Every structure is written in structure tokens, then in C-alpha cells.
Amino acid sequence: EIVMTQSPATLSVSPGERATLSCRASQSVSSNLAWYQQKPGQAPRLLIYGASTRATGIPARFSGSGSGTEFTLTISSLQSEDFAVYYCQQYNNWGPWTFGQGTKVEIK
Amino acid sequence: QVQLVESGGGVVQPGRSLRLSCAASGFTFSSYGMHWVRQAPGKGLEWVAVISYDGSNKYYADSVKGRFTISRDNSKNTLYLQMNSLRAEDTAVYYCAKDSTDDYGDYVPLGYWGQGTLVTVSS
């Protein structure tokens, strides 16, 4: 099973600042990497797939990069609605899919 | 619009069984793979199982393999998760989620999610 490791566990950022979240895979997943946002009491929402493609309706301030084992989600200028937990997920080959443990982005 | 509505959750004793359902609408259900993902209280997301569009291929997380069975009825636009031999550690909100493809034909994972149904395993 591919293990996904996210860092940091918690990121404290002021509104308007840039946030950079990291995700590392225990083996190469090529570009088969997605990012999700989850707010309290809500289902997750897909932000990025294919490591760098924004899902429909996702603002341009969200961007993804990386391939192989190292990936990054960048939020260029944090808005109040962006404070949430973010998960990466690999979907290399057809199963099993695995999530990272999550990064909580909180208001500084 | 795409809608996924889970049902069937509740409180169940350890060792008992429960079947979850996910009613789909707003898209051609028989054309897409479907997943179950769970989230224990206060914890992160755990992928549980996937089934191909026609039900011919299934895959499970090691934590549920041999106890849970994913299935679908394309005539009823419904996804199922049969959960047997339930354990306390299976307590979670269970979400169903849908695969899709984008305008370029690329695979899009878990683009749509239901609101989840809570399963509590407790004596």
C-alpha cells in the first residue's frame, strides 16, 4: 500500500498570505494525485486532480504541482473561506486509493 | 445536478451487520465507478472500496477486506456497502463518491460526494 504523508499537520496563516502544503508518497504515483478541501460538518470537495488540474469551479488561487513522490498545494492569497483541512490522495493503478492524514489551515 | 444520498447508517452492536445505500441521480449512473470513503469521528479520510461502472471490478482497503462488500444496481441507480462482522473501529461517517472524466477524457477521482451517513458500532 502506498503511504501518503502530509506536512505540516497544522499551518497558521494570516488572510491574504500564501499557504504551501506538502504531500509525499512512499513510492511514485506519477501524476495520479488529488487534493481535497474539507470544512467542519461538510463532505470533502475536490480541488485538484492529475497533480495540477483544477476541478470545475475551483478558484485560480489554488494550484497544484509535483510528480512522482513530491507534491505541493499552494493557495496564493488565503481567503476566509479557505480555512479548512486539506487532504491529498493518490490514485495510482486501480486501487487501493490512499489519503494523507490531512493539513489543517488555521487563522494566524 | 449530481446528487448522491446515503442512507442505512445507525447504531449496531459489534459483530453484527449493516447495509448502506447510496441513491444517485443527475447523471448516468451506469457509466461511472463509485467509491465508499469513511471518516471516524475527529479523524481523517479513509478510502474503503471502489466498484467499476459495470460492477465487474472491485477493490477494498485491507482494513475491510473479507468483511465488507461493495455492489451496485444500475437499474436502480444505487450503490451499496454490505458491512459484516462490524467492529468498534468501523465507527465513522460513510460517504459515497463518484468518479468522472473531464472534457479531455482524463480521469477525475471523487469529484462528487454525498453528505454521509453515520455508522456507530457499540454495545
Compute the nearest-CA separation of A98 from chain B (Å). 6
CB-based burial of residue B41 (10 Å sphere; 0-12 exposed, 13-18 middle, 19+ buried)?
exposed
CB B61 within 8 A of CB B48: yes
Residue with cell 505540516: A8
**Are A89 and B110 within 8 A, CB to CB?**
yes
CB of A31 within 8 Å of a chain B CB? The answer is no
Query: Hey, are the CB atoms on B50 and A94 less than 8 Å from each other?
Result: yes
Q: Which residue has the higher pLDDT, A45 or A1?
A: A45
- Give the mutation candidate from A31, A33, A91, A92 for the B interface (greatest B CB count, under 10 A): A91
Residue A95 reports pLDDT greater than 90 = no
> Which of B59, B61, B106 is closest, CB to CB, to A94?
B59
The alpha carbon of A2 is separated from its chain's Cα centroid by a whole number of angstroms, namely 16
C-alpha distance from B70 to closest chain A C-alpha (Å): 14
* For B104, nearest residue in chain A (alpha carbons): A53
Residue A41: list chain B partners with CB under 8 A. none
Per-residue pLDDT at A104 exceeds 80: yes
For B25-38, the pLDDT digits (tens) are 999 999 999 999 99
CB of A44 less than 8 A from some CB of B: yes
| C-alpha to C-alpha distance for A56 and A102, rounded to whole angstroms | 22
E strands along chain B, which residues? 3-7, 10-12, 18-25, 34-39, 45-51, 58-60, 68-73, 78-83, 92-101, 107-113, 117-121
Q: Does A46 touch chain B (CB under 8 A)?
A: yes
pLDDT in tens, chain B (123 residues): 999 999 999 999 999 999 999 999 999 999 999 999 999 999 999 999 999 999 999 999 999 999 999 999 999 999 999 999 999 999 999 999 999 988 888 899 999 999 999 999 999
Please tell me the predicted confidence (pLDDT) of residue A94.
75
